[in-house]
Structure 1
Amino acid sequence: MNELSPVLVHHIVNTLGWRSLRPLQQEAVAPVMAGSDALLLAPTAGGKTEAAVFPLLSAMERGRWSGLSVLYVCPLKALLNNLLPRLEGYCGWVGRRVALWHGDVTSARRRAMLRDPPDVLLTTPESLEAMLVSVNVDHTRLFAGLRAVVVDEVHAFAGDDRGWHLLAVLERLSRVAGRPIQRVGLSATVGNPGELLEWLQGSGRGSRPAAVVAPALTASAASPPGEIELDYVGSVANAATIIAALHRGEKRLVFCDSRQLVEELGAALRARGVTTFLSHASLAVDERRRAEEAFASGRDCVIVSTSTLELGIDVGDLDRVIQINAPGTVAAFLQRLGRTGRRPGSARNCLFLALDLDSLVSAAALLLLWSRGHVEPVTAPPEPRHIVAQQVLGLSLQDHKIGSGLWGDAWNGLAPFDRSAAPIVAHLLEEGFLERDGEFLFVGPAAEARFGRRHFMDMTAVFTAPPEFTVLYGRQEIGRTDPMLLTEKLDGPRVLLLAGRNWKVTWIDWKRRRCFVEPSDLRGRARWFSPALTGASFDFTRACREVLLGADPPVALTRRAVTHLAEARENAPATVHPGGTVIRRDGTDTRWWTWAGFRANAVLAATLGGLTDEVQRVDDTWVRLRSDLTPQLWRSGTADAADRLTLPDVDERALRGLKFSEALPRRLAIGALAARLSDLTGAGQVLREPVRIDIDQ
């Protein structure tokens, strides 16, 4: 700790009562204080925040940084709210101030920050974009002293378009500040930490010093795996019964894969007399906060959550984690598992409760991958051309007008925001999103009509939020619901299930998207629209195939789990074979059981157009083939297929889910979606494997 500020060390020892730093925190001091870009890896609650903040506060003191010097960026507002009290304490020790800026912060508080900026600002990428484009923010003055940014849960950003948005905004901020900005990423376990750090560096990769710091991962790999158990329960009601009966007197966190399941399980637990709290994205902020605070201070209780509590929000000292069905990735499981085993003498634990056979196989497959040390690599979505369009429009708002020959410099040469985006700029001009005045470009009428509402706030977020109605009981906001529940025909009263309680709809304000309710004893319904997903990965689907062929994960399996896995395997011989993939005909339905994942199957369907069914459908496990397929047709049609792989066709309706796609040339928008729906590597591997053809001639 000698390198840190003496005042900081004094408080670490005397206020926190720490005799020493954790290995991650100690090893992070030198590279972070030296100004290197860094990726700090540790399991949940591994001390990553302190590993970044302590050396940055020390560098702030040593370098006499003034004004807003450090940004702390999180993917969730709830995470920022949770971090604020802790960082206020750390900054206060050395006479520095921290503040919060996101969509829920009042205008008066923001104006006060602009008059007297803090030293550290907690915020989101969307709020940074809003600051850069706002006419009320002098961003040149505000960010003049910016030196470093901490990106918490960086893996959550890097895996989707918010990551590209964040990188582009950081490049613009470095131009405003007039210097490179040190980047420190905090992450749980990922399969490709070196690549993730290079991605985070943006235009500085290869030219700036960088370090991956991950001592805790080596230690955790050598530690006991914990208490992992897989059970089959068959229904939500049975899951609630088991949760109510097991581990009474303990604090239990239950993860579900949908908001609807959270609501249904929460209501079932309350009906069994269990003190239950709920957390998901469609609950009101105050409702979630009350639930999380009550859960954090309680003991004999359960909180049921979607992935919102997978990240680093503090809900106190947990006894148990329970997983309904299976998360989509090993990385998500590791995040959830890391919620437990924090007390001395306690072990990490997770109980899986599968609601059906498919979920049982998926859970077993995920645990099989986990037992082998597999963790998915985090990769940025390819072809973020729609984010390029958004950024060019954002830059034109930020600077009011941009040089027609100089706009490409704003992102310091970071592809694809560099001069290679010229066709996108040309399209923006052609369609009226931009206008030209001599050598300058500025926002045009099409952009104002499409994105200009609420001072262009719709342009600061790169994700599309589904339309939802706010549900109100008097003046109290309960949460939000899908409009489909308010429009479908039914007999009798309309009753919603929200926040684990039943609410009868009394009035709907269609214009303002508000729904007024009162408590009800009738049984309500919960449902939300979910955007189309791109299915399971190649590795995950192949692990499911292994489970059906007899592989068991090295965890505790209940008698019910063993019995129902045997049932799944008895039904599987027609679709899996140890000697290769299977083509099987059932009546006129001919399917190729590839077990390759959705993206690889989409490529296979496009590549084998002459062999596939005209009305093509694919899923994670199979591709439908033409009903008159013969072995001869198959061999001739696939002879060179691995060398001519084709990107899948894209449904025009899918473009609606790609925000800013209307600001792109149609071919680029379709190309971006096609690239994101593809797994060329997986498709090529499947085409090179043996195939067993089980069809009648």
Structure 2
Amino acid sequence: MEELHPVVQHHLVNTLGWQALRPLQQAAITPLVAGHDALLLAPTAGGKTEATVLPLLSRMAGEAWTGLSVLYVCPLRALLNNLEPRLAGYASWTGRRVGLWHGDTTAGTRRRLLEDLPDLLLTTPESLEAMLVSTRVDHRRVFGDLRVVVVDEVHAFAGDDRGWHLLAVLERLSRVAGRSVQRVGMSATVGNPDELLAWLQGSGRGTRPATVVAPPAATAPAAPDLQVDFVGSVPNAATVVAALHHGEKRLVFADSRRTVEQLAVALRERGTETFVSHSSLSVDERRRAETAFAEARDCVITSTSTLELGIDVGDLDRVLQLGAPTTVASFLQRLGRAGRRAGSSRSMLFLATTDEELLRAVALLLLWSEGYVEPVTPPPSPRHLAAQQLLALCLQDGRVGRTTWPAALGGLPLAGADELAEITDGLLERGYLDSDSGMLFVGREAERRYGHRHFLELLSAFTADPQFTVLHGRLEIGTLDQLAFTRSVEGPRVLSLGGRSWLLTHLDWGRRRAYVEPTDRVGSSRWSGGARALSFALTDAMRRVLLGAQPRGVVLSRRATERLAVVREQLAVAVDPRASAVGEWHGEQLRWWTWAGARANLTLLSALAVSGVVEEVSQVDDRYLRLAPETTAGALTAAMAGVRQRIEALGVTTEVSDEALKQLKFADLLPERLSRRTLSERQADAAGARLVLDRGVFDVRASR
């Protein structure tokens, strides 16, 4: 603590009443004060925010930083809103100010922030880029004093294209600031911290010291109370949740907005005070629910992953999970939401509504009991973001050099040099760019496609389906997909949103607005989006559970134990301890049970397509591939040997459907060859495919 500024030390002791720092907070001071790039790792509620901000405030005071010197970037607006009062309090100790800027910030507030810059700004990558391309923002004045960027929940960025987008924006900010900006990431436990920090460093890798800060806890945490139950349906799950833990605050996670809504409606029918949180609810609706939940006592809040990332909803007594998340990392985040109070412990009850959910929950806990946490791997080949960044640079600078523009991105591996040239030529050919004397600027097609609403659609790396805004009078409740209004229904159309039922009274197709009134009838909700592909590790763990593996430190209820025995018996034909299994399913379909995950299976399918032993399908399963009739294990083994060398050389390309291509944001900015190649590489899992090939094949029919 002595390394911190005296004023900060004073307030830690006298304002917060702290006599000592946590191990992470103490260990972070030296590298952060020395200007290292750093990754701070700790479970949820592990003190990461203070471990990062207090040393930076000490430097800010001790080194007399001026202007906007620290950016604090989060993946969620709600998380920023939640953090702002706490960070503003810390900053006030040294006479510094905190500002908040994201999509919900009013125009008036933004003007005031630009006129009188804060010392620390809480924001999102999309808002940062909006500032960079805005003609109303003096980039040099706003970002010229920037010294540090803090990235909260960095794993949530790194796992998808928002991470690449963030890195590109940070490179451009460094160019505006005229200095290499220190980068500090915060995360819960990840499987590859050194690689994650190297990725976060971007162009600063190798030029500035890098430190992973992850000291062991002073005392080993108590083993969590983990239980799995099989309930068979969402209404049954609601009955269990309503009957358990009266007088306590319960957070129930589910992995789809539709299930969250179903559960909330069912809980309210059973007389349980219930609140709802998910991304399709309006900001005000979520805030009302989260505030009411924080202040209530005997209640439940149902949520998707929106409450996974540390948003404060007060002290929780219980965390439950309907179904199972798809990663150990997500499970750990959710588990860490409870057990924060002194004397309380971490616990989670899994409620499986289907056999697949039961098997996945037990497999996930098997991986956890073995100490496994997934590596965070940025998606490969972000060529589409190279194209997006070129247009953004043209908006930012007006004109950029045709051959020199990639330098502004600091050498980020978005695409190869030849591909960058091909991307540039393609944008020129299709009118997204115009050129004059070797300089590029925004063309008419880019204006037509992205120019409405100040190019906002160009500044976001994630896709969103067209949504209808649902309104009760002037009150915005949230959004629903068009699917909710186009599917046929008998009688009045009744919707479910925010855990309540609404009668549709008017639909404004032109303005995409749905007007509703409360009703006692039971409604339903609908959003588009398919099931998420499972990893090789999780799918293989499901295979091992079928073969008898059990997670340590986990209690299965009598119902779960009995149902798991049934699942093991039903799928006995699908597993073999010696190899991957070939067997008939219900006496009809011949399947190769790889248990490798959809991406590895798609790789195998593409590699084996010419052999004739596998059947082409529109959607690949995580667990198996369909085999052509009369295929033998010997024929499959021979075909596998023929493609092994191709997969070893990563020479297999997967088929890309036109529908899949629509899901790649900015695919229209790439030549079709490059957009299909990008998706093909992202759909593949050559490592998983090789593991299946190494395992060999056993025909379980031969043993019966």
Return the alpha-carbon distance in structure 2 between the equivalents of residues 545 and 373 of structure 1. 18
Residues 603 and 680 in structure 1, CA contact (< 8 A), matched pair in contact too: yes
Return the alpha-carbon distance in structure 1 between the equivalents of residues 157 and 598 of structure 2. 23
Measured against aligned partners, the alpha-carbon deviations of 1:245-278 in whole angstroms (never above 9, x if no partner) come to 1111111110011111111111111111111111
Matches within 5 A, 1:639-650: 639-645=641-647, 646-650=652-656
Q: What is the one-letter code of the residue matched to 2:334?
A: R
* Correspondence for 2:465: 466
Aligned-pair CA distance for 1:635: 3.4
Return the alpha-carbon distance in structure 2 between the equivalents of residues 676 and 512 of structure 1. 36
Change (3 A) 1:412 1:372: same
Residue 683 (1) aligns with residue 681 (2): no
Return the alpha-carbon distance in structure 2 between the equivalents of residues 632 and 473 of structure 1. 64
Measured against aligned partners, the alpha-carbon deviations of 1:69-108 in whole angstroms (never above 9, x if no partner) come to 0000000000000001001101111001111001111111
Aligned-pair CA distance for 1:224: 2.6
Measured against aligned partners, the alpha-carbon deviations of 1:32-71 in whole angstroms (never above 9, x if no partner) come to 0111000000100111111110011111112211110000
* Correspondence for 1:225: 223
* Correspondence for 1:455: 454
Return the alpha-carbon distance in structure 1 between the equivalents of residues 662 and 367 of structure 2. 35
Provide the secondary structure at the position in 2 that maps to 1:644.
helix
Return the alpha-carbon distance in structure 1 between the equivalents of residues 195 and 282 of structure 2. 37
Q: Size of the alignment, in residue pairs?
A: 694
* Correspondence for 1:655: 661
* Correspondence for 1:315: 313
Measured against aligned partners, the alpha-carbon deviations of 1:229-254 in whole angstroms (never above 9, x if no partner) come to 11111111111111111111111110
Residue 154 (1) aligns with residue 142 (2): no
Residues 582 and 633 in structure 2, CA contact (< 8 A), matched pair in contact too: no
Measured against aligned partners, the alpha-carbon deviations of 1:410-448 in whole angstroms (never above 9, x if no partner) come to 012222267452221121112111111002110111111
Return the alpha-carbon distance in structure 2 between the equivalents of residues 656 and 504 of structure 1. 33
Change (3 A) 1:325 1:221: farther
Return the alpha-carbon distance in structure 1 between the equivalents of residues 127 and 466 of structure 2. 21
Provide the secondary structure at the position in 2 that maps to 1:529.
coil
Aligned-pair CA distance for 1:588: 5.3
Q: Kindly, what percent of the aligned residue pairs are identical?
A: 59
Residues 382 and 415 in structure 2, CA contact (< 8 A), matched pair in contact too: no
* Correspondence for 2:268: 270
TM-score (norm 2): 0.97
* Correspondence for 1:626: 628
Return the alpha-carbon distance in structure 2 between the equivalents of residues 687 and 493 of structure 1. 54
Provide the secondary structure at the position in 1 that maps to 2:470.
strand
Aligned residues: CA RMSD: 1.5
Residue 551 (1) aligns with residue 549 (2): yes
Residue 250 (1) aligns with residue 248 (2): yes
Residues 250 and 299 in structure 1, CA contact (< 8 A), matched pair in contact too: yes
Residue 188 (1) aligns with residue 176 (2): no
* Correspondence for 1:202: 202
Greater shift after overlay, 175-184 or 476-485? 476-485
Aligned-pair CA distance for 1:223: 2.6
Matches within 5 A, 1:490-529: 490-529=489-528
Change (3 A) 1:343 1:534: closer
Return the alpha-carbon distance in structure 1 between the equivalents of residues 250 and 388 of structure 2. 42
Aligned-pair CA distance for 1:692: 1.0
Return the alpha-carbon distance in structure 2 between the equivalents of residues 44 and 616 of structure 1. 40
* Correspondence for 1:476: 475
Measured against aligned partners, the alpha-carbon deviations of 1:629-667 in whole angstroms (never above 9, x if no partner) come to 234432332223221121211102211111110110111
Aligned-pair CA distance for 1:182: 0.4
Residues 249 and 300 in structure 1, CA contact (< 8 A), matched pair in contact too: yes
Change (3 A) 1:248 1:534: closer
Residues 642 and 688 in structure 1, CA contact (< 8 A), matched pair in contact too: no
Residue 295 (1) aligns with residue 301 (2): no
* Correspondence for 2:82: 82
Q: What is the one-letter code of the residue matched to 1:365?
A: A
Q: What is the one-letter code of the residue matched to 1:655?
A: L
Change (3 A) 1:661 1:634: same
Residues 633 and 698 in structure 2, CA contact (< 8 A), matched pair in contact too: no
Return the alpha-carbon distance in structure 2 between the equivalents of residues 636 and 347 of structure 1. 54
Return the alpha-carbon distance in structure 2 between the equivalents of residues 186 and 22 of structure 1. 15
Change (3 A) 1:693 1:72: same
Q: What is the one-letter code of the residue matched to 1:653?
A: E
Return the alpha-carbon distance in structure 1 between the equivalents of residues 394 and 234 of structure 2. 52
Residue 536 (1) aligns with residue 537 (2): no
Return the alpha-carbon distance in structure 2 between the equivalents of residues 616 and 77 of structure 1. 37
* Correspondence for 1:282: 280
Q: What is the one-letter code of the residue matched to 2:626?
A: R
Aligned-pair CA distance for 1:616: 5.9
Aligned-pair CA distance for 1:307: 0.3
Provide the secondary structure at the position in 2 that maps to 1:640.
helix
Provide the secondary structure at the position in 1 that maps to 2:695.
coil
Q: What is the one-letter code of the residue matched to 1:524?
A: G
* Correspondence for 2:403: 405
* Correspondence for 1:436: 435
Provide the secondary structure at the position in 2 that maps to 1:578.
coil
* Correspondence for 1:635: 637
Residues 588 and 627 in structure 1, CA contact (< 8 A), matched pair in contact too: no
Change (3 A) 1:242 1:148: same
Change (3 A) 1:492 1:212: same
Provide the secondary structure at the position in 2 that maps to 1:219.
coil
Return the alpha-carbon distance in structure 2 between the equivalents of residues 341 and 614 of structure 1. 49
* Correspondence for 1:57: 57
Return the alpha-carbon distance in structure 2 between the equivalents of residues 257 and 650 of structure 1. 26
Return the alpha-carbon distance in structure 2 between the equivalents of residues 502 and 412 of structure 1. 51
Q: What is the one-letter code of the residue matched to 1:681?
A: A
Residues 385 and 414 in structure 2, CA contact (< 8 A), matched pair in contact too: no
Change (3 A) 1:511 1:330: same
Return the alpha-carbon distance in structure 1 between the equivalents of residues 46 and 166 of structure 2. 24
Return the alpha-carbon distance in structure 1 between the equivalents of residues 444 and 237 of structure 2. 55
Q: What is the one-letter code of the residue matched to 2:698?
A: R
* Correspondence for 1:562: 561
Measured against aligned partners, the alpha-carbon deviations of 1:149-170 in whole angstroms (never above 9, x if no partner) come to 0000000000000000000000
Provide the secondary structure at the position in 2 that maps to 1:38.
strand
Residues 71 and 150 in structure 1, CA contact (< 8 A), matched pair in contact too: yes
Change (3 A) 1:565 1:101: same
Unpaired stretches in structure 2, ≥5 consecutive residues: none
Return the alpha-carbon distance in structure 2 between the equivalents of residues 85 and 545 of structure 1. 47
Aligned-pair CA distance for 1:490: 2.2
Residues 605 and 616 in structure 1, CA contact (< 8 A), matched pair in contact too: no
* Correspondence for 2:40: 40
Q: What is the one-letter code of the residue matched to 1:479?
A: G
Change (3 A) 1:233 1:3: same
Change (3 A) 1:593 1:418: closer
Return the alpha-carbon distance in structure 2 between the equivalents of residues 648 and 476 of structure 1. 47
Greater shift after overlay, 485-494 or 307-316? 485-494
Q: What is the one-letter code of the residue matched to 2:163?
A: G
* Correspondence for 1:611: 613
Residues 617 and 623 in structure 1, CA contact (< 8 A), matched pair in contact too: no
Aligned-pair CA distance for 1:117: 0.8
Change (3 A) 1:220 1:447: farther
Residues 161 and 462 in structure 1, CA contact (< 8 A), matched pair in contact too: yes
Residues 533 and 599 in structure 2, CA contact (< 8 A), matched pair in contact too: yes
Residues 99 and 118 in structure 1, CA contact (< 8 A), matched pair in contact too: yes
Residues 408 and 418 in structure 1, CA contact (< 8 A), matched pair in contact too: no
Q: What is the one-letter code of the residue matched to 2:351?
A: L
Q: What is the one-letter code of the residue matched to 1:689?
A: R
Return the alpha-carbon distance in structure 1 between the equivalents of residues 548 and 75 of structure 2. 40
Unpaired stretches in structure 1, ≥5 consecutive residues: none
Kindly report structure 1 stretches of 4+ aligned residues shifted beyond 3 Å.
417-420, 585-588, 614-617
Residues 534 and 599 in structure 1, CA contact (< 8 A), matched pair in contact too: no
Greater shift after overlay, 488-497 or 27-36? 488-497
Q: What is the one-letter code of the residue matched to 1:11?
A: H
* Correspondence for 1:348: 346
Aligned-pair CA distance for 1:330: 0.3
Q: What is the one-letter code of the residue matched to 1:166?
A: L
